[in-house]
Structure 1
């Protein structure tokens, strides 16, 4: 059981143990039932979750010598920040199942480097009822409909059958040429054979080209729709999905579309044709000589058994390579994004070393898989080579004995033998590739089953929007069993008011803003929008009337005008200029060589922090919002520029909500709340200290 989130290793371990005791659950189903915080979970939280599945728990400290006497499977605390499942420990070796690395067999010395001494034993209670909580990913979850797919696939299969019929006819050319044309010296018959089978070659080439063109068209259509559906869904999932995952891992999961696309286009047709060809070739072989055909079939079956014996290890190494590649890609992306920090701290060598370590894991997994492939290929070639030796030996004996088996028949038989062997092995390899689809589907399932923060069809807010916000006993925690970040918050934000939240760092101010924006669902309580209950159906249309500058806002690749208008297809340059002037960034833009058409570097790296912040403010103002929300929106501005921005905010006839620590914004606000320890206390306007504590 592999974990997709860095914080869900405990959940993955519980799934493995629960399934061992009779439940039928997977991670996708568990995520829909429970949520964990970004910090993961504690042993106490894990015990609470186990109790919900009818599992009794016992936490204890144990040294390595006591582990063979434990009730297994047991959950172990690992590396001080991780959980694994111990399934067996005997004869100095421990078998563990790591949510990050899979099944591993460790020596006692290796085990002791990671084990912290904390163990959680689990056992089913008498009243345990098996729970079914599975959300498997199916192929039909990836696309809705592709026009013309089935007719095109039928066309491919028809072309393939015709093509393979031509392939099966080719060996007869050898037999007829040798046994009849050459034996009788009939040059006219030889010419007829050459012209006939030459025309057959031209037909084969034409059919093969048409088949390839059709397959390519289907593949491109399917790939475009599947990736398009994934991106469509990905842009609408809840914010917490991205907060718990690395971008490299998400990109790696999207890349799993490619092998699925290939399997559904080329793989389906190839499997059908390979099976049909192998069957047809086998029938023809038995018509030529049943004893020789039996020898060929038995040798091919030995090769198939050998291939399947190596398959589990091949699959494990393939999965390790995919996961290691995602980690290496994530590390490289982070290093490139933080290139300035890396240079300033002189950590180029350290970051390079860490990347090399991660990439070495990719190479090691690829090398291990490659060794198995080499062994598999060598075994198949050995069996095939010995098969040829034996077939030729016994066939030659039949020819010498004069048992109605000619030299031409031997040539034809060897050709059909090659066809049967090649197609049988190709069929097995294709079946193995199909078995890998479960691996790729499981990886895509993390995206496919991610919960959206908006329904497919939303509700429109009542016009005109006044911009009033309120909360009723609003509470929030990041995960089950975690402490409340906000506890019973009651707020009133009248239309057109200027409200500021202040307080210590980590007190919940930004979390409160995300709740007011519908990015997080409340644990309990409600958010009211112009007196209407904030629900997933109404948030998309409500956000159209909100301008936001968040702490982690970023600029995107494009021009400054594109970013201010946020790539509005019908950009209004007049509004762009007005928004930039209001945000005190117009003069800076006009000094640039290309002014508003100046390209923005990666995430705005070509601009200073203060300039980026003002461009982001201009982007929020371009929307002409009814509510403007700033999270530390003036933190990077100098005093004069901040004063101008504060003056602008004071004049705006809309609702303004800011998170601030600096006095200028707090003094300008009509109402100030001190947010700390899960509460929001009303204080005097502009004061940084609460009036009542």
Structure 2
């Protein structure tokens, strides 16, 4: 019931539509009760009583009732579908808003396919129940209530005989509910895993093909698909056992009515028309009871889906604005790390006692091997994670006390793995400033040395790039990313291995654009290559989360340090490549 209460809170703004739909259903059900009564009048008075003038009147009444039922049926369907669609619209938006507010730590563990399954399949399961299941439950209550009143009015003893099967039905529904709910929860979990496999395979299809792993991926998908099939077959077995039992109870009730009702007619205690009407009412009662299994099915699917959806909606972001958070206006770009220590939730410390000060407008190079903590360090600056101890300050403000929107708006990122949205190049460049004019977009592209290649594309800035920038080279994607940073115009800039995935010639072109981008900004350059950081005002060498060396390029070279060893290793081959080859012969020509 806890899930029902939570779903109710989401649906509450649209309850008026549901109330009106239920009212229409109430009238619709009441009108449905009149037709068997008219049949009783037709038999007992019109035919047996020879009141032939009554027959046309009854026919007109049937037509009027049928027309009225059509109007109320349309009204009920229109209103309840609107209730379901509007409620799910709010739910889907709430889910997406929540996903936007959740911190990076949530996405460290979450599977994209699982999240997609909850946003699509689970939400759709809830919609079906809200649009169809809720009104059918109301119809069940009205139908059973009206029918029992009419049945007891016609003949109370025959009604008691007809209802002998109800305790058995209640037991069957209870057992069905206890069995089918975990079965549906298991189906949705397996479907989410299947979606994850599909999503990962489609995203990584180039890797799959490069390693010729298509057969293995097909095997994995088929194995998970078999799990889904098995779960669905198990639920089908439950249904197969439940519905024949319902049918048996229904037929037993009908047989009892015919036997005992016929006896009453022969004894003169019940008219033939009343028996015909009673039989019609019994089937009016049996049909919604037989539908109870289908309605329970919708309910259980919605509850299982609701539990999975609420798991996300109730997840609290680990990073959020503090109650006393302040704005960050007029950023100068002075960044400080004071005794910073950091560890992910389930691992050893990634950073240990980092002290670092980057004055406004200065360039800091951060060098280190993979896993040394370079990226983790700058992620703390944008507060994508919080420090375990110590503090990170911008212009003297602890980032934990600054509004996230202001903080992240003041920092621009150009990453090694450039992500471009499946949209036009103009929209990708203007992503940080959606309201930017075309002139501003072009100016940013020119500054990033991207304008020329964009102008040569079929539709220029309106060219739609493929998913994740497919269709552009690595260097072109990096230039678009730099144009995006230029347009955002941040006071603090983070270049995370921005040239690591391009060739040396492209790197030289990008470096020219980067120098323009870094001008006057506090910049952090994360790199493996010394060539990317050698012109920095300060170079920090990290090893296993600690600062082991720091200083300018010349100073670090002169000390014969670890940095100097890295320099010699990286530049030895390059110097050998540019050295002139010796002549093949030594004599004069």
TM-score (norm 1): 0.76
Name the counterpart of 2:37: 172
CA contact 2:340–2:392 (8 Å) conserved in 1: yes
Aligned pairs, number = 555
Greater relative contact order (Cα < 8 A, sep 6+): 2
Name the counterpart of 2:530: 663
SS in 2 for 1:667: coil
| Match status 1:349 vs 2:349 | no
Q: Structure 1 or 2: larger strand share?
A: 1
In structure 2, how many angstroms separate the alpha carbons of the residues matched to 1:430 and 1:466?
Answer: 62
Name the counterpart of 1:239: 104
CA contact 1:683–1:692 (8 Å) conserved in 2: no
Name the counterpart of 2:342: 476
Displacement of 1:457? 8.3
Equivalences for residues 506-585 of structure 1 within 5 A: 506-535=371-400, 537-566=402-431, 568-585=433-450
CA contact 2:366–2:374 (8 Å) conserved in 1: yes
CA gap 1:364/1:575 in 2 versus in 1, 3 angstroms = same
Gapped regions of structure 2 (runs ≥ 5): 566-589
| Match status 1:492 vs 2:357 | yes
SS in 1 for 2:400: coil
User: Greater CA deviation, 199-208 or 151-160?
Assistant: 151-160
Q: Structure 1 or 2: larger helix share?
A: 2
| Match status 1:205 vs 2:54 | no
CA gap 1:498/1:574 in 2 versus in 1, 3 angstroms = same
| Match status 1:397 vs 2:248 | no
Name the counterpart of 1:311: 177
In structure 2, how many angstroms separate the alpha carbons of the residues matched to 1:268 and 1:137?
Answer: 15
Equivalences for residues 404-483 of structure 1 within 5 A: 404-426=269-291, 430=295, 433-452=298-317, 453-455=319-321, 459=325, 461-479=327-345, 482-483=347-348
Displacement of 1:626? 0.8
Deviations 1:529-573 (A, max 9, x none): 111011165222121121102344411111111111117442322
| Match status 1:639 vs 2:504 | yes
| Match status 1:196 vs 2:196 | no
In structure 2, how many angstroms separate the alpha carbons of the residues matched to 1:636 and 1:581?
Answer: 22
CA gap 1:456/1:211 in 2 versus in 1, 3 angstroms = farther
Displacement of 1:239? 1.0
User: Greater CA deviation, 298-307 or 666-675?
Assistant: 298-307
Name the counterpart of 2:581: none
CA gap 1:304/1:143 in 2 versus in 1, 3 angstroms = closer
In structure 2, how many angstroms separate the alpha carbons of the residues matched to 1:302 and 1:465?
Answer: 74
In structure 2, how many angstroms separate the alpha carbons of the residues matched to 1:183 and 1:405?
Answer: 14
Higher Rg of the two aligned structures: 2
Name the counterpart of 1:156: 21
Name the counterpart of 2:192: 326
In structure 2, how many angstroms separate the alpha carbons of the residues matched to 1:305 and 1:171?
Answer: 30
SS in 1 for 2:70: helix
Cα RMSD (Å) of the superposition?
2.5
CA contact 2:368–2:543 (8 Å) conserved in 1: yes
Name the counterpart of 1:68: none
CA contact 1:646–1:668 (8 Å) conserved in 2: no
In structure 1, how many angstroms separate the alpha carbons of the residues matched to 2:536 and 2:17?
Answer: 65
In structure 1, how many angstroms separate the alpha carbons of the residues matched to 2:77 and 2:425?
Answer: 45
Name the counterpart of 2:246: 380
| Match status 1:602 vs 2:467 | yes
CA gap 1:362/1:471 in 2 versus in 1, 3 angstroms = same
In structure 1, how many angstroms separate the alpha carbons of the residues matched to 2:423 and 2:432?
Answer: 8
Gapped regions of structure 1 (runs ≥ 5): 1-135
CA gap 1:382/1:408 in 2 versus in 1, 3 angstroms = same
In structure 1, how many angstroms separate the alpha carbons of the residues matched to 2:455 and 2:470?
Answer: 18
In structure 2, how many angstroms separate the alpha carbons of the residues matched to 1:142 and 1:552?
Answer: 43
CA gap 1:346/1:640 in 2 versus in 1, 3 angstroms = closer
Displacement of 1:636? 2.1
CA gap 1:422/1:218 in 2 versus in 1, 3 angstroms = same
CA gap 1:296/1:488 in 2 versus in 1, 3 angstroms = farther
Match of 1:617 among 477, 482, 486: 482
CA contact 2:475–2:506 (8 Å) conserved in 1: no
CA contact 2:430–2:441 (8 Å) conserved in 1: yes
Name the counterpart of 1:254: 119
SS in 2 for 1:464: coil
SS in 2 for 1:565: helix
CA gap 1:138/1:548 in 2 versus in 1, 3 angstroms = farther
TM-score (norm 2): 0.88
Displacement of 1:143? 5.6
In structure 1, how many angstroms separate the alpha carbons of the residues matched to 2:551 and 2:522?
Answer: 19
Match of 2:234 among 362, 365, 368: 368
CA contact 2:322–2:400 (8 Å) conserved in 1: no
In structure 2, how many angstroms separate the alpha carbons of the residues matched to 1:485 and 1:254?
Answer: 34
